[in-house]
Amino acid sequence: MKIPIAIVDDNNQNRRSLADQIGYSEEIEVRFTAKNGNDFLAQMKALPLNMHPAVVLMDIEMPEMKGTEAVKYGRQIYPDLKFLMLTVFDDDDMIFEAIKNGASGYLLKDEKPSTIIDHIHQLTEIGGAPMSPSIARKALSLLSKAQIVETDDVKPDISRRLSERERDVLKLVVEGKDYRAIAEKLFLSTHTIRKHIANIYEKLYVNSKAQVINMALQSKWFDS
């Protein structure tokens, strides 16, 4: 059975080349390619669950939504999805941010296609944490020096994604209020509340109340 993957890279030539190079393997199937994080999340939302990839090869520096941010949101919405960063960057901050946000591995783009395929197998079969040798050395150095402390800046910034009114609605949804109760609380019609909630789902790339509540609770958006 082929391992389904997705490729996310803002360079069209890179996407096509990588898809062609990996697609030759009888064990890998490229389900889709995306040009940035927003495009990736939108395509994931549009696909039925049985068509989702198991592994995503994710570039870092992309317009609209960079790879590390896409990993952060993607891990919240699709916790079983494995992200393998595939980039030209071996910067300490990039590595740290990618791992902190939930990346399962970190490879440089100059790796051979056969090596990338092998690492995809590692991720899906034994749950390894594949890294290029130079990245592994940097990661070990980071882990030996750094104290990871949770701070507010780890939380996804919904202020840039949702309007103030949408945040008010989302807070009440998280508190367990139904549409009618939210409408009464905010002095709005239930039709308007439904529209706000539809906008929230679209902006946060979720499909249900359970997903958006889970995302809000995990990210501690409304903790006092």
Residues 101-110: tens digit of each pLDDT: 888 888 888 8
**Cβ–Cβ < 8 Å for 55, 84:** yes
3-state SS, residue 135: helix
Residue 129: pLDDT over 70:
no
Residue 157: pLDDT over 90:
no
Structure tokens given for 4? 């389904």
Start-to-end CA distance of the chain, whole Å, equals 48
Residues 57-80: tens digit of each pLDDT: 999 989 989 999 999 999 999 988
Architecture in CATH of 3-145: 3-Layer(aba) Sandwich (3.40)
User: Rounded to 10 degrees, what is the CA torsion of 212, 214, 217, 222?
Assistant: 10
User: How much is the pLDDT for 150?
Assistant: 40
**Cβ–Cβ < 8 Å for 128, 105:** yes
Highest mean pLDDT among 120-129, 130-139, 197-206, 207-216: 197-206
Closest to 44 (Cα-Cα) out of 65, 14, 64, 70: 70
* 205 Rama sector, left if φ>0, alpha if ψ -120 to 50, beta otherwise: left
What is the Cα gyration radius of the chain? 19
**Alpha-carbon distance 143 to 134, whole Å?**
14
Kindly state the average pLDDT of the residues 111-120: 87
Residues 177-222: tens digit of each pLDDT: 888 889 999 999 988 998 998 888 888 877 777 778 778 877 778 7
| Domain spans, the chain | 3-145, 152-219
**Alpha-carbon distance 173 to 55, whole Å?**
32
Structure tokens given for 25? 């393997």
Model pTM greater than 0.75?
no
Provide CATH code, domain 152-219: 1.10.10.10
Distinct helix (H) and strand (E) counts, the chain: 10, 5
